[in-house]
Structure 1
């Protein structure tokens, strides 16, 4: 098997598995740039995946056909934003410990979604499989380009390209707009921002809700492109990988995208290992744990050099500096 053939297997799988991580990590960037630590990304993805499953099944029965998963992603985004309000109220309004609030969000999402699945589907622990996924496609014209075409434009999903495009949009919003400047100011020095007339509480609420919006999209994309149904193990650590990608990316949208692609590559190796010479000789359990081992290695080597926004995780009390 040639190198090009190996790349034609690994790269599309990398793009597929990285897309949910990119969306969720971007949500984390919004929250933490505003000064609110959000380790509840796992829970937000769970809510997004659950909502996408229920919404897609309903829309399919309503006759929306291939549009069902796309509409479901938007519904999941709204559900994630609403669910993130719990974290916003607890950590911003009541100034509770943001780490504890994020952990509680993860547990609440896991328990609530499975409870609702069993309630809706007569005790079953999982939803039925959706009939309309967002399937892999070969991009017309581009897939015929020699060398590049088979690697980057065959057997891919549009959500992968959308995730990369949105990363650059988020970079522009955060670093090139007045909204982004206000968001970053309340995460770096909220007292100074307050003296300039910026509503710190409102900006932080927006940051957390945007994290829920993108986390909901991440969970929904994972469901409609990879798993096709929701159960207790659907997300299985993807939110924590997205959190790691955000930190590894130094709280920067493009960095988070690059880190997500790296972690997506690690997951793609575990999925496609049996098709790749030499790697197929490794025990399957090694490839299953490889993404998480790589995460630990990367974070151990780089997190110490990455500095979060100065006010990240510090509740703001008006009048205090």
Structure 2
């Protein structure tokens, strides 16, 4: 079992908070439209930091744990791209001005990180107390994979988001934006702006992604520390990655299919782990290097197949995928 000292946790959290503060400064205190070169530079920076951390961590803790970190990081990074699909849909639905998109994204990432810390602590506690939770997590991932595959050609409905609906009932909402303000006053009445509703939509989508991503990363490592750092470094680069790939997302037509395969694979891995530990010791166990190879292989095949598909059929368009079918009334194609 990985032993992380209090100093190790403190230094790790200090690095993540410093990077988060840097992201907050860039996204909130200096709102501006982000160009391709800026987004590319920051994306490379965050990926380089994540890789450097992984190498240092592997040198200190051993490459078995290092492999688990990189597998977890790749899983979370691939799931974060699906996150970006939903972010693009939300930004488009609420017509967020480009120079304020950074602010919403940065706060969305902070919310996602806080939610993941909560779920990581809960997940680690449950797994340590009840071994059958490996079975539960595995079945959750398999169910999610099946639903995502069934509805891979759909997009989630932002306007049907229960938390967005509840917020709109609780707060009167202005029709127009008021700079970068979340709330404003009109005729002496305090009102929420569309920017606040956008943040609520992104935060609630973060909650759903956390419910899927935490069991997924626990499928490649049982160490809470590795789960935390893999999630943190994957999320920290999300703001820059959004501006880098938002114009390319439409071309990743098979991404939802690839992610459903990855989630199903990790779900089966968790079920086999439970079976091996609690029921049948001769049950096969999928190693972390094999998991890493399968995850990378699926992502490469998915990306190449998507690019070939859109090159041969320019009208093909990617979708974020949904965990439930949209009703005919919600589908604009039915009208």
The interval holding the TM-score normalised by the smaller chain is: 0.3 to 0.5
Higher RCO, 1 or 2 (CA under 8 Å, sep at least 6)? 1
The TM-score normalised by the length of structure 2 is: 0.34
